[in-house]
Structure 1
Amino acid sequence: MRSKVTKAIFPVAGMGTRFLPATKSVPKEIMTLVDRPLVQYAIDEARAAGIKEFIFVTSRGKGALEDYFDNAPQLEQELRKKGKSELLEILKSTNMDSGEIAYIRQHKPLGLGHAVWCARRLIGNEPFAVMLPDDVIAAEKPCLQQMIEQFEETQGNIVAAMEVPDDKASSYGILDIKDDMGSVVSTKGMVEKPAAGTAPSNLAVIGRYVLTPTVLKMLNKKKPGAGGEIQLTDAIDDARDEGEEVYGLRFRGQRFDCGSKAGFLQATVSFALDRPDLRDDLQNFLYDIVNASKAAQ
């Protein structure tokens, strides 16, 4: 029986160029989705799934991200003095205990696989999760929890998967399905960003993984893949040669691609409409906009 999954890697070294000029001074991961930074959603999902150690693979210019998880004594003191206990509790929930969080630098942007490889010494010989904060998933049971439960059952590498339109398949890692069992599929391969019309299926890998130490061993080869980068999907695929199965999980929930402006806006509206304190005002505003647009036509 393998160890429990208690460590997660968060690759956050990207420059966020799609969100310039905002990301000129603000790391994309702490841009606000409603009233919480993007990365907080990933942290909350990981905690709910039993993750105890959080490893951030960062780069130059991410100091604000590190500060976000630190204590803010002056702010806490001010809130305490003003009797704002509710805000104080919210603030404290963002703090990370000493030793709970670690930061590793990725000095060159050599791909997602390389970012994960950078954290190898902190992972050791244990299974681990990889979470991309750009993918925000609204789910009754957190997506990562669904995956870890499946991992405990199958003991194979697990990737989160969702159906995508055929014309979008070339933007993703795509699963080559061996056996479709409904919510879970076993795979015979993965293709990173296949050329148009060549995808083996339309089941795409999105930013959640539960992986074995064998994948780190494969990453040690530093084999360049699509785009000349070290691809995580290639290493997962190579682990198959060591006798490890790779499964795709059709998770239950809605995924928002917050790496794109449209996806970020869609997530903002969806999460805000889910909030009792914001729903009515926002709904009325959206109705007014839609009705005004119809009237203009």
Structure 2
Amino acid sequence: MSEKKPIRKAVFPVAGLGTRFLPATKAIPKELLPIVDRPLIQYAVDEAREAGIEQIIFVTGRGKTAIVEHFDVAYELESTMAERGKSLEVLEPTRATPGDIITVRQQVPLGLGHAIWCARAIVGDEPFAIMLPDELMIGAPGRGCMAQMVEAYNEVGGNLISVLEVPWDEVSSYGVIDPGSSEGALTVVKGLVEKPPRDKAPSNKIISGRYILQPEVMRTLENQEKGAGGEIQLTDAMARMIGNQPFHAVTFDGRRFDCGSKTGFVEATLALALERPDMGAEVRAMAERLLRA
């Protein structure tokens, strides 16, 4: 087998309008809404860096410049904090090294597949990661979802998607895999099925917002017709690659929060707040008071 190229780049599709969170997202990108005190996008970027990703590619739309500014150096803020003797450590994860963040614009919302295709010139001929910030994936320290996927990629190469097992009653809300043989956390993917009825679902392993794909997917997306919803679907492009290249699913060892929904967003905020040593006890007491009311 030829030597595998390392996973150095990750594409973050962040051009969505965030309509489910209006009016909060009228002027603020949904990716900057905070889970406790860190914006949602920060969790995903930190996960990418933990996995050794060197270059972050934001596919943005109108009104999303604040996402890039979040990772810029805030001179006035840092100067004021320094003058007042406040530590700047809390801002360290928000500072990007020059050249580490690149943005491209998706002018027309034509679907996730189209958003990924917009980054084709930056991806070039390298395998790359895709990370959907709405999916908040929490693993053990040093063992985030993308780190687990990169470890699996170094073992088997090809294309990989992260999956999680859900109750069978929930499979009709997600894309699921048609599984082949399994070994540990790795499962061969024979096919992908979008939102199947429970009685026709080939498995209860859902696709959960993290991908490592070979650059050939860009050529597939370029020539692909519109699919469900009149949009260019990433799932359709991946399905065409199955059988032509190795394709595996990695069962994520950790927790997933669907922060694209309001209830999932609240759940994530509460769960992470309860784990914080600086506030967990107070939050637990507050929640117990509210439940007794």
Structure 1 counterpart of 2:207, which letter?
A: V
Counterpart CA distance in 2 for 1:78 and 1:131 is: 34
Counterpart CA distance in 2 for 1:186 and 1:130 is: 19
Counterpart CA distance in 2 for 1:249 and 1:14 is: 26
User: Structure 1 residue 289: deviation in Å?
Assistant: 2.4
Alignment correspondent of 2:224: 222
| C-alpha contact (below 8 Å) 1:174/1:193 kept by paired residues | yes
**Which of 1, 5, 8 pairs up with 1:6?**
8
SS in 2 for 1:204: strand
Alignment correspondent of 2:129: 129
Counterpart CA distance in 1 for 2:199 and 2:232 is: 24
SS in 2 for 1:158: strand
What are the residue-to-residue correspondences of 1:124-273 with 2, within 5 Å? 124-140=124-140, 141-195=143-197, 197-241=199-243, 243-273=244-274
Task: Kindly indicate whether residue 272 of structure 2 is the aligned counterpart of residue 281 of structure 1.
Answer: no
Alignment correspondent of 2:73: 71
Counterpart CA distance in 2 for 1:171 and 1:111 is: 18
Alignment correspondent of 1:42: 44
Once the two structures are superposed, what CA deviation does each residue of 1:130-149 show, in whole Å capped at 9, x if it has no partner? 00000111111111000011
Counterpart CA distance in 1 for 2:17 and 2:25 is: 7
SS in 2 for 1:23: coil
| C-alpha contact (below 8 Å) 1:173/1:190 kept by paired residues | yes
| C-alpha contact (below 8 Å) 1:31/1:38 kept by paired residues | yes
Structure 1 counterpart of 2:83, which letter?
A: K
SS in 2 for 1:244: coil
Counterpart CA distance in 2 for 1:273 and 1:21 is: 27
More displaced stretch, 221-230 vs 1-10: 221-230
User: Structure 1 residue 214: deviation in Å?
Assistant: 1.7
* Structure 2 unaligned spans of 5+: none
Structure 2 counterpart of 1:230, which letter?
A: I
Alignment correspondent of 1:120: 120
| C-alpha contact (below 8 Å) 1:135/1:258 kept by paired residues | yes
User: Structure 1 residue 197: deviation in Å?
Assistant: 3.6
| C-alpha contact (below 8 Å) 1:12/1:58 kept by paired residues | yes
* Structure 1 unaligned spans of 5+: none
Counterpart CA distance in 1 for 2:286 and 2:76 is: 37
User: Structure 1 residue 179: deviation in Å?
Assistant: 1.4
Structure 1 counterpart of 2:144, which letter?
A: P
TM-score where L is the length of structure 1: 0.94
User: Structure 1 residue 120: deviation in Å?
Assistant: 0.6
| C-alpha contact (below 8 Å) 2:189/2:242 kept by paired residues | no
User: RMSD across aligned C-alpha pairs, in angstroms?
Assistant: 1.3
Counterpart CA distance in 1 for 2:248 and 2:274 is: 34
| C-alpha contact (below 8 Å) 2:224/2:237 kept by paired residues | no
Alignment correspondent of 1:24: 26
More displaced stretch, 182-191 vs 111-120: 182-191
Once the two structures are superposed, what CA deviation does each residue of 1:141-193 show, in whole Å capped at 9, x if it has no partner? 11100001101111121100011233322322210112133421101111123
Counterpart CA distance in 2 for 1:261 and 1:173 is: 20
Counterpart CA distance in 1 for 2:210 and 2:132 is: 7
What are the residue-to-residue correspondences of 1:46-57 with 2, within 5 Å? 46-57=48-59
User: Structure 1 residue 221: deviation in Å?
Assistant: 1.2
User: Structure 1 residue 226: deviation in Å?
Assistant: 2.1
Once the two structures are superposed, what CA deviation does each residue of 1:40-80 show, in whole Å capped at 9, x if it has no partner? 00000000000000000010011211211111101110000
What are the residue-to-residue correspondences of 1:96-111 with 2, within 5 Å? 96-111=96-111
| C-alpha contact (below 8 Å) 1:192/1:226 kept by paired residues | no
Equivalenced residues, count:
289
User: Structure 1 residue 105: deviation in Å?
Assistant: 0.7
Counterpart CA distance in 2 for 1:223 and 1:45 is: 33
SS in 2 for 1:217: helix
User: Structure 1 residue 195: deviation in Å?
Assistant: 4.8
